[in-house]
Structure 1
Amino acid sequence: MSAGSPAASLWQSRDFKRYWAGQSLSVLGDAFAVVATPLLVLGATGSVVSMGLVTAMAMGGNLFAGFFSGVLVDRVNLRKLMIACDCARGALWGGVALLFWLAGPQIWSIYAAAAIAACVGNTFQVACITALVRLVERDQIIEANGRLQASYALMSVAGPALSGLVCARVGPVAAIAINAVSFGLSALSIATLRFRDPAPHADHDVPVRRGVLRDLSTGLRFIWRHPQLRAIIALVAATNLVVAARVDLLVFHIKHDLRQTDASVGQVFSLVSIGAIVGAIVTPRLRRRWGFAACFLGGGATVGVASAAVGVLTTPVTVALAAMVAVFADTIRSINAQSLRQECTPPHLLGRVTASWWLLTSSLAPAGAALMTALITRLGTAQVFLLGGAWLVLLAFVGVFTPIRERRPAAPLTQA
């Protein structure tokens, strides 16, 4: 690795390393919640449909935030906004834990916290995408995303296993409280960062400040005018129709069909996360060697095949291995899509474009989460996983006939 390479220069960036460490700790807390929240709902209600409703509430909050998060990110102080979002999420989930401890199971609080925290979390994630391009150079984006995703996945190996142990010994509420604390650590790390101001832009057709409605439409119009981004959004939205409830389905499969313990659920999720680590590490190399199309479409098809296998396998180890392959491929697909969006979008539009992206790709997710969990009660786990996997393979095949098939991404656009 040469001293002047993008990967080498990232090690010399103090701000990126602080950002990387803070967000990794936050993801460790999120990994606790990924296991604890479904277990908390399942323990309180005994219903997979209730699990799906919580996920649908979160997806709905995420979808609602898409109408304003991009405008907010592009207009206000980025550091202050991210700190405020972390503090709000910490207070929400800390409040849920406190309420359960003092008053017993209060399922309504989980519904409310899931929706509001998802709304705030959407704003934070849009800000994170924008923050990255103010911390690193353009030729470092794919390396930075790969490094972030690798550490996130590493935290997701330890998190579920620890969460499973915590849930088994002291209950899921304690794991939710740990997640709340992690948001405070993230806020502290962000307070130390120095973001570059976005470069002056020549896009006088659509100024940054020209009314909220105009700002909302700016991101949508930019995506529509970029052929690859437009095609990717359509495929990702259709994908989210069946993958929105994947965590709920996997937890239910392990607990109900395979009759495993809470600790076993955490161990399976830890094994699954290894796929994300490997996927994040190899993504930059695969992108350079194979190009965008092979990584994105090939990853989507592999997710479909592996997801179908999860439903028909009958031991925790084989289920974990199949899910690991699915997460490996999905990580490659996701990093490529995110990096392409960052590379092709002018910095002063990135918040609005990212929010519009998530608004469109999440449009079917709430209905998908409710639908897939409801179908399990009618068709059974194996059939639902098989249907979902077949749908994902079909979408990858359709993508071959769209602008996504180009080996290299389109040149960056400078006009909205």
Structure 2
Amino acid sequence: MIGRPPTVSLWRNRNYRVFLLIQTFSALGDSFSFVAIPLLVLHSTGSVVQMGLVTGATGVASIVTGLFAGVIADRFDRRRLLMLSDVARCLLYALIPLVWLFATPMWLIYTVVPLTGGFAMLFQVTYVAVVPAIVEPDQITRANAHLFGSYAVATVGGPALAGFVAAAFGPVAAIGIDAATFAVSAAGILLVRLRPTPPPAGDEEKASEGVAGGGLRGEFLAGIRFLWAHPVLRPLTVLLSLVIFLTHGMTDVIIFRVKKDLGYGDDTVGYVLSAGTVGTFLASFVVTRVRKGLGFGPSWVGATALGGVAVGCLGLTDSVPVIGALSAGMLLATGVAGICSMSLRQEVTPGHLLGRVTAAFWTTHYSLGPLGAAAVTAGAAGFGVARVCLAIGAGVVCVALSGMLTGIVRSESSA
């Protein structure tokens, strides 16, 4: 298998093709709830602060789940975990349209959406750990780019379609469609076969053991210790924590800007978010060449800084097409940085630790996300979108440039 062209090998890999198709379909459904949940909250309460609280509550659930998601992903059958996560989200999201036929209880949103966020975290941690069991080591960045691109293809039309469905039948109908896609995704995972994870050898086995007292805490700390000992993953985790704090509520801010500040309808919100996902699609095309040409560090720092510039400009325009274009630029930058970051972790982390390292990484850098979402949406309501976007954009640029003072910019793609 060594020496075969990665592109040819990937498309001849049946498990990879099936996995790519399943994730594309699932992403199409995800884009419905991505639009429908904030719209449902806004329709029910008229409050951008409530939108931020729901986003923040979902972030808290993800953080709590992340404390043990990595241990679960490293202990149990990863394919079954993916199926479990999809089935659980299908059932939870299906509750919303069923209950909304008889009442409109906001407590259901505050219960169901965070729970789905927890299962989403379990799925995401397992998903990252699964990719190296489907493709070869030298294909990881390219495979992640394809998967990211398939997500973009699905979500380019998804938000616009969700906006139309929400405008015609209400946001709960769009959430029901999302529930159905999770059912199809769970069934499709049955067709995917994974290579077994090699067992850890001597020293690696010791390194993965917990600290004195062992148990769940020790196993989770094995991921933390690996992150902290790695010269690139350590500063990257800190910087990403700051970026997530600043940007976690940006989707809510964009929706608020388009609907409340500019007075457009749900279908226009769908158009804007669809335009934004074009940037995600473009990122999947350029990331492999960018990382190969510049190396990991310059790619991540440059992309993150450009994303900050796009965020800063969002509040300076009243033009919906310009807002869509800036959203695309923001997600292009986020996509390049995110694919590089995920691929690096998959490349440098031993397979038996990958779930725990991924969970530790995401739990750490998402820990500030709920606070950030609440602060950003409250700031948008109190001070206006323009000022908040300028402040966030400047902050992201500063965080990115501070990466030049760390080992990130001196790292090669293999770190």
| TM-score, L = length of structure 2 | 0.96
- 1:294 positional shift: 1.6
- 1:201 positional shift: 2.1
Cα distance in 2 between the residues matched to 1:44 and 1:24 = 31
Q: Which residue matches 1:335?
A: 339
- 1:205 positional shift: 1.1
1:204 aligns with 2:205: yes
281, 288, 303: which is aligned to 1:299?
303
Q: Which residue matches 2:220?
A: 216
Deviations along 1:323-348, whole A, 9 cap, x unmatched? 11111111000000000010010000
Cα distance in 2 between the residues matched to 1:11 and 1:409 = 24
Cα distance in 2 between the residues matched to 1:92 and 1:316 = 34
CA contact (8 A) 1:228 1:410 kept: no
Q: Which residue matches 1:181?
A: 180
Letter in 1 for 2:10: L
Letter in 2 for 1:238: L
Cα distance in 2 between the residues matched to 1:12 and 1:390 = 45
Letter in 1 for 2:139: Q
1:272 aligns with 2:273: no
Letter in 2 for 1:354: T
Alignment of 1:236-251 (within 5 A): 236-251=240-255
Alignment of 1:309-320 (within 5 A): 309-320=313-324
CA contact (8 A) 2:82 2:189 kept: yes
- 1:219 positional shift: 0.1
- 1:207 positional shift: 4.8
Q: Which residue matches 1:9?
A: 9
- 1:206 positional shift: 3.4
Q: Which residue matches 1:140?
A: 139
Cα distance in 2 between the residues matched to 1:207 and 1:160 = 42
CA contact (8 A) 1:290 1:407 kept: no
Indicate the RMSD between aligned Cα atoms, in angstroms. Answer: 1.4
CA contact (8 A) 2:90 2:182 kept: yes
Deviates more, 1:76-85 or 1:221-230: 76-85
Deviates more, 1:49-58 or 1:80-89: 80-89
CA contact (8 A) 2:141 2:343 kept: yes
Cα distance in 1 between the residues matched to 2:340 and 2:162 = 30
Secondary structure of the structure 2 residue equivalent to 1:204: helix
Deviations along 1:158-203, whole A, 9 cap, x unmatched? 1001001101111110000011111111101111111111113221
Alignment of 1:5-404 (within 5 A): 5-103=5-103, 105-202=104-201, 203-207=204-208, 211-404=215-408
Secondary structure of the structure 1 residue equivalent to 2:37: helix
Letter in 1 for 2:398: L
Q: Which residue matches 1:406?
A: 410
Letter in 2 for 1:280: S
Q: 4+ residue runs of structure 1 moved beyond 2 angstroms? A: 206-211
Change (3 A) 1:319 1:5: same
- 1:92 positional shift: 0.5
Cα distance in 2 between the residues matched to 1:5 and 1:111 = 48
CA contact (8 A) 2:152 2:277 kept: yes
Change (3 A) 1:289 1:12: same
CA contact (8 A) 1:198 1:347 kept: yes
Identity of aligned residues (%): 38
Letter in 2 for 1:50: Q
CA contact (8 A) 2:209 2:222 kept: no
Cα distance in 1 between the residues matched to 2:365 and 2:8 = 34
Letter in 2 for 1:241: F
Deviations along 1:126-150, whole A, 9 cap, x unmatched? 0100111111111010000000000
CA contact (8 A) 2:133 2:194 kept: yes
Cα distance in 2 between the residues matched to 1:213 and 1:49 = 35
Deviates more, 1:286-295 or 1:300-309: 286-295
CA contact (8 A) 2:296 2:413 kept: yes
Letter in 1 for 2:185: S
Letter in 2 for 1:20: L
Q: Which residue matches 1:414?
A: none
Cα distance in 2 between the residues matched to 1:215 and 1:100 = 41
- 1:372 positional shift: 0.6
CA contact (8 A) 2:140 2:347 kept: yes
CA contact (8 A) 1:101 1:173 kept: no
- 1:204 positional shift: 2.7
Q: Can you give the 5+ residue segments of structure 2 that lack an aligned partner in the other structure?
A: none
Secondary structure of the structure 2 residue equivalent to 1:115: helix
Cα distance in 1 between the residues matched to 2:80 and 2:336 = 31
Cα distance in 2 between the residues matched to 1:204 and 1:123 = 24
Secondary structure of the structure 2 residue equivalent to 1:66: helix
CA contact (8 A) 2:232 2:411 kept: no
CA contact (8 A) 1:31 1:163 kept: yes
Secondary structure of the structure 2 residue equivalent to 1:227: coil
Q: Can you give the 5+ residue segments of structure 1 that lack an aligned partner in the other structure?
A: 412-416
Change (3 A) 1:207 1:219: closer
CA contact (8 A) 1:55 1:366 kept: yes
| TM-score, L = length of structure 1 | 0.96
Change (3 A) 1:22 1:48: same
Cα distance in 2 between the residues matched to 1:410 and 1:267 = 39
